[in-house]
C-alpha cells in the first residue's frame, strides 16, 4: 500500500519529537512544538515543560545545567524543524 499524507505527517512529527527530546536530554515532562507556514515563511519553535514550568530552548540551562543551549545548538534544532516542516509542506 502506498504512503498517504498521514504516514508522512506521522513520520516527520516523530522526527521532530525525537530531536526535541534529544535536545533536552529526555528530561522534559512535555514538549510543545510550534510550526507555521505563512506568506512563504516557515517558523518552527519548541517549548519544554519541566517540573510544571515552561521553558524556552535558550533557558533550559537555568534549570538543567547539563543542557547545551549554545546558539549553534539552538540553530541546529530550528534548522532541523524547519527542514521537516518544509518536507511536510511539500507532501
Statement: residue 66 has pLDDT above 90: yes
Which pLDDT belongs to residue 80?
Answer: 96
How many domains does the chain fold into?
1
* Beta-carbon count within 10 A of 23 CB: 23
Domain span at residue 76 reads 5-90
Name the more confident of 2 and 46.
46
Within 8 A by CB and 6+ apart from 50, the residues are: 24, 27, 28, 29, 60, 63, 64
Query: 8: part of which helix (H) or strand (E)?
Result: helix 5-23
If we measure between CA atoms, which residue out of 39, 32, 35, 90 comes closest to residue 57?
32
Statement: residue 91 has pLDDT above 90: no
Which pLDDT belongs to residue 53?
Answer: 96
* Average pLDDT over the chain, rounded to an integer: 94
Which pLDDT belongs to residue 19?
Answer: 97
Amino acid at each position: 500500500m502506498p504512503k498517504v499524507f498521514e504516514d508522512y505527517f506521522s513520520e516527520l512529527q516523530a522526527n521532530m519529537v525525537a530531536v526535541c527530546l534529544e535536545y533536552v536530554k529526555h528530561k522534559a515532562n512535555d514538549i510543545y512544538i510550534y510550526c507555521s507556514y505563512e506568506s512563504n515563511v516557515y517558523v518552527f519553535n519548541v517549548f519544554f515543560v519541566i517540573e510544571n514550568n515552561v521553558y524556552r530552548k535558550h533557558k533550559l540551562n537555568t534549570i538543567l545545567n547539563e543542557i547545551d543551549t549554545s546558539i549553534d545548538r539552538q540553530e541546529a534544532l530550528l534548522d532541523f524543524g524547519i527542514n521537516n516542516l518544509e518536507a511536510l509542506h511539500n507532501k
